[in-house]
Amino acid sequence: MKVLKVSSWTIAAFVLPCLLLYVCLVFVPIIVSVYSGMLEWNGIGTSKFVGLANFHKMFTNDSVFWPAVGRTFLLAGFSMLIQLPLALFVAILISRYVRRTSFLVSSYFLPVILSVAVIGQLWKTIYNPASMGGMINQVLIKLGLDSWTHAWLTEPKVAIYAIILVGLWQYLGYHILIQFTGIQNIPADIYEAAKIDGAEGFKADRYITLPLIVPIFKISVVLSFIGSLQSFDLIMVMTGGGPAHATDVISSHMYNMSFLSMKYGYGSAIASFLVVVCLAATLIINVLFNRLDKRFS
């Protein structure tokens, strides 16, 4: 069999344009953002270099920043501990008990393709007080659970959890599709051989599906975690970070500082922190899943 041999210069000639484009679109903006974070600048006028002053202020003298970081990781925690296991469970049930799977999987995926503005307005209507037609509060009142009613998006202790519920609902179908595709790619011969040995149902899932789907599940974990860290649009549509910064996350706080308070340098410092957290999280997740993959391989 003939093997096509290509010189390293030819490979470099094809790779270099894509590499340069990637560097210009990814690394250059990161470097510019880090540099801008060292400026006292409103984004329009003259700037003043202040070194690490913005970062020092962000870590030690910003009453909104650390609570926003906590809520960001709260979103990520709910997504990974509730959304992903539920998506995997539903994907297993669909692949096992549903013959014509395309319609059901597409139905789960429908919220993902809807505009965030549409979803935000829809759920704001659902969360409205009963007097304004809010479905949740009306159902609770009819069930005699009046004490459970809330002003879901205006109570500081409740609002963030109301938004988390919407996020879990919106992207559940996205992860169902990923997990379902991974399960479908597992050869059926393995399940048939296991069935002969007496392993079927959830026992087969434990010893066959879960180990073989680890690489696909890692993709869901990375997308879920990084997506939670970058959550912005749904929060801005539903609450704008309020009430009293009770739903602010890192991205919304960065937006408020950069464009509403006209502190572009300080907002760039927050953006730099977010980039570092995303890179660190991706590295940690890859290391953990590589160890897990080696354990099952």
Structure tokens at 140: 């609770």
**φ, ψ for residue 32 (rounded to 5)?**
-65, -40
pLDDT (average), residues 188-192: 85
- pLDDT more than 70, % of the chain: 98
pLDDT (average), residues 60-64: 94
Q: Is the pLDDT of residue 3 over 60?
A: no
Q: Is the pLDDT of residue 160 over 50?
A: yes
Q: Classify strands 39-40 and 48-49 as parallel, antiparallel or unpaired.
A: antiparallel
Give whole-number Cα distances, 247 to 75, 117, 159, in Å.
11, 17, 7
- Establish how many alpha carbons lie within 13 A of residue 3's alpha carbon, considering only the half-sphere containing its beta carbon: 3
Residues 67-77 pLDDT 10s: 999 999 999 99
Which pLDDT score, from 0 to 100, does residue 125 have? 94
Give residue 297's pLDDT band: very low, low, confident or very high (50, 70, 90).
low
Helix then strand then coil, in percent of the chain rounded to 5, is: 75, 0, 25
Nearest to 177 by CA among 116, 94, 114, 234: 94
CATH class of 62-294: mainly alpha
Domain locations in the chain as residue ranges: 62-294
Torsion, Cα of 65, 63, 247, 153 (10° steps): -170
Q: Residue 210: which region, alpha, beta or left (left: phi > 0; alpha: psi -120 to 50)?
A: alpha
Residues 81-130 pLDDT 10s: 999 999 999 999 998 888 888 888 889 999 999 999 999 999 999 999 99
Q: Is the pLDDT of residue 202 over 90?
A: no
Q: Is the pLDDT of residue 1 over 50?
A: no
pLDDT (average), residues 43-48: 88
Helix (H) or strand (E) holding 55: helix 53-60
Can you tell me the distance from the alpha carbon of 38 to that of 32, in angstroms, rounded to the nearest whole number? 10
Q: Average pLDDT, whole number, for the chain?
A: 90
Which pLDDT score, from 0 to 100, does residue 168 have? 94
Lowest mean pLDDT among 156-165, 168-177, 199-208: 199-208
Query: Any bridge partners for residue 48, and if so which?
Result: 40
Q: Is the pLDDT of residue 188 over 80?
A: yes
Residues 232-285 pLDDT 10s: 999 999 999 989 999 999 999 999 999 999 999 999 999 999 999 999 998 999
